[in-house]
Structure 1
Amino acid sequence: MTPLDGRIREEIARDGPMRLDRFWNLCLFDPAEGYYSRRDPFGAAGDFVTAPGISQMFGELVGAWIVAAWRALGSPSPVLLAEAGPGDGTLIHDMLRTVRQLDPAFMRALKPRLVERSDRLAARQIERLASFDLPVRRVRAIGELEAWPTLLVANELLDAVAIRQFEFRSGAWGERVVTRGPADALAFEVRPPAGGLPAALADPRAPQATEGDVFEVSPERDRIVADIASHLASHGGAALAFDYGHLRTAYGDTLQALRSHQRSSPLADCGQADITSHVDFAQARRIAEACGCTAAATTQGAFLLALGLRERAGALGAAATEATRADIVRAARRLAGDGEGEMGVLFKTLAVSPRPLPLPPFEGSGA
């Protein structure tokens, strides 16, 4: 049992069953024992690998899109180049390297910003960008960004934001909470929802639920999307978000935990595993549009292929050894393929901007 396990059990004993979003935030972000406060989760030696860690091609293609977006916006100067949840700094590093190669004027105009809650990760990210000799600044929230046009990227940020779960049992919706079960093990329990049902479930147009259906909402995730969209609506710019999820709102239990690249119980060893859920991209679009922006979503594979993933892979492999070319092909397939363990369909790409931008693959679809 971890120290956080004990504290969670004490809180449940004192205050009663714990809402899932409270449990989630303690496990991931508790300053003393939370997952992101103590562990180094990235890469082969960690608990998961994200797209920037699979291949430099991901950051290069995202960087190329950002350059095109800056030009489509009229090349504003100064402009913020921000990453929300920069992880180990690989993505923004690859983006900056690409910007430097493609458009020196953009490089002179941009001000890098890291939107990061963790002091430990922020220090690592700033160190990663030191070679660029740019005015890098770390902020803790979108609301702390300066009032300048902003080009923002977020990769696997929204899946780490806490959710609430509602389960349909015996003809009624209840809320899943965390409680102390047999032998003092943590367990899920369904109780009457505190504060009523989410608006989506109270809507008479909601799909008919069947026994055991689960519905997930994330007010915290909605607030982050709203903060990004409101900033863009006020100051101009564009944003890209990459995450696994679904393009249409639907019922389903997507709560999961990862430890050492293997599935784990979200209730076991609190603070030692990454807890995530699938992002509802339809809801993210609704929130962005309600804040005055246009929004469009597609699969990650469609995005990368439209940006030239095949061509970039060919260029990287042209002068490489046969073994290196095979590695490049495997990386490209993992980023954009639709097979088991590949990210091309499971992962989605959301584009948000105050007005539609004529950029692939979103031409004519909103952002």
Structure 2
Amino acid sequence: MTGQPERLDHFMARANAAYYAGRDPFADFITSPEISQMFGELLGAWVAVVWGQLGRPAPFVLAEAGPGRGTLMADALRLLRHVAPACHAAAQVHLIETSPRLRACQNAALKAATPNPVNWHDGLASLPQGPLVLLANEFVDALPIRQFVRHGQGWAERFVQAGRFVEQAAVLPPTHPALARPVPDGSVLETCQPALDFVHALAARLQHGRGAALLIDYGYDAPAWGDSLQALRAGRPVDPLRDPGTADLTAHVDFASMAQAAGSVDVWGSVKQGDFLAALGLGARAQQLARAVPAQAQDIRAAARRLAAPEQMGRLFRVLGLSVGVAGLLPGFAQLRAT
């Protein structure tokens, strides 16, 4: 083997930075907003209700982390323009995106969607002060993870060298929630400190200026074991350690740890995406669109099933809500339990 071992999270961060800077990721995978306009429209309706629960602040920061092509935000803004024009006028759109290529796509998608200028940021810290409503769909799964392997009574951490894993001795804090029960030999534990840091900073931001946030991704709601690192190229799984920068590297999201990192803000869920979208009215919206465009009715219903059916995206994908200063129950969570 050649070269020095590189810690997995450093390797993943480097690979994804190169990937998003140089390739069109939507040639390799599809996200919920690209499946159907209904996804962004329902989140737009969610924004409108939350804005009312915040007392209709004008202006307010409407932010999205990892906005892809801008499809979700464009659909949400279109819905707001039609059904909540005061909210649409008050929204100051801010996007957290580091890729120049994707910023250009987002600018093209949103330049006519809002009367206010669209602003871009490299991270959460530079968002302006004031009431905040933030959306993040499939943002956390691309944040870099570390992996630890149990060997007897000790631990080793995975590094990457010449396209394969190598291990180095490591020490884990005994307070990690996954260690509450005996750990079988060979078990793999994943941690994602950037996800916890993001949620912690987001919670602090909400406490300072009030607001709400939705984090939507695939993952689990309780401590879990196993190697979930994966890579997609042209819609097909490939070796995540080979040819860094040519495929999208992701891992399952630990929603329980993120909820814990949120501290004292109001935490909602996580809940299954299918249940959440149903609570927001996915079924009624699909029927409405099917009646309006009969020629596309079958495709519309198929898209709704793909978003919400348990055997498709409805169970694996989960939704976590955070809020401060929102009057009443956060929309979409009122009748749901974390299951």
Which TM-score tier does this pair reach, normalised by the shorter chain? over 0.9
Q: 1:124 Cα shift?
A: 1.7
Cα 1:19/1:332, change in 2 over 3 Å: same
Q: 1:293 Cα shift?
A: 4.2
What are the within-5 Å matches in structure 2 for residues 1-367 of structure 1?
A: 13=3, 16-29=4-17, 34-42=18-26, 46-132=27-113, 133-180=115-162, 186-193=163-170, 196-198=171-173, 200-201=175-176, 206-290=180-264, 292-322=265-295, 324-339=296-311, 342-355=312-325, 357-363=328-334
Q: 1:169 Cα shift?
A: 1.8
- Asked if structure 1 preserves the Cα contact closer than 8 Å seen for 2:50 and 2:331, the reply is no
Amino acid at match of 2:36: S
Quote the sequence identity (%).
42
SS at match of 1:310: helix
Q: Answer with 216-225 or 167-176: which moved more.
A: 167-176
Per chain length, whose mean CA-contact separation is higher, i.e. which structure has more relative contact order (CA < 8 Å, sep 6+)?
Answer: 2
Alpha-carbon separation, structure 2, partners of 1:274 and 1:67: 33
Q: 1:295 Cα shift?
A: 3.8
SS at match of 2:194: helix
Cα 1:204/1:224, change in 2 over 3 Å: closer
- Asked if structure 2 preserves the Cα contact closer than 8 Å seen for 1:176 and 1:190, the reply is yes
Q: 1:321 Cα shift?
A: 2.9
Q: 1:68 Cα shift?
A: 0.4
- Asked if structure 1 preserves the Cα contact closer than 8 Å seen for 2:190 and 2:227, the reply is yes
Q: 1:364 Cα shift?
A: 7.6
- Asked if structure 1 preserves the Cα contact closer than 8 Å seen for 2:268 and 2:333, the reply is no
- Asked if structure 2 preserves the Cα contact closer than 8 Å seen for 1:161 and 1:218, the reply is yes
Alpha-carbon separation, structure 1, partners of 2:277 and 2:266: 23
Deviations 1:204-258 (CA, angstroms, capped at 9, x unpaired): 9622111221111111111111121111111011001110000112212111111
Q: Gaps spanning 5+ residues in structure 2: where?
A: none
Deviations 1:92-133 (CA, angstroms, capped at 9, x unpaired): 000100111111111121101111111221122122111133
- Asked if structure 1 preserves the Cα contact closer than 8 Å seen for 2:275 and 2:336, the reply is no
Alpha-carbon separation, structure 2, partners of 1:338 and 1:171: 38
Cα 1:52/1:198, change in 2 over 3 Å: farther
- Asked if structure 2 preserves the Cα contact closer than 8 Å seen for 1:358 and 1:364, the reply is no
Amino acid at match of 2:333: F
Amino acid at match of 1:35: Y
- What is the alpha-carbon root mean square deviation over aligned residues? 1.9
Q: Which runs of 4+ in 1 moved over 6 A?
A: 364-367
- Asked if structure 2 preserves the Cα contact closer than 8 Å seen for 1:28 and 1:36, the reply is yes
Alpha-carbon separation, structure 1, partners of 2:234 and 2:137: 20
SS at match of 2:52: helix
Alpha-carbon separation, structure 2, partners of 1:327 and 1:55: 9
Q: 1:90 Cα shift?
A: 0.1
Q: 1:361 Cα shift?
A: 2.8
Cα 1:224/1:65, change in 2 over 3 Å: same
- Asked if structure 2 preserves the Cα contact closer than 8 Å seen for 1:162 and 1:220, the reply is yes
Q: Gaps spanning 5+ residues in structure 1: where?
A: 1-8, 181-185
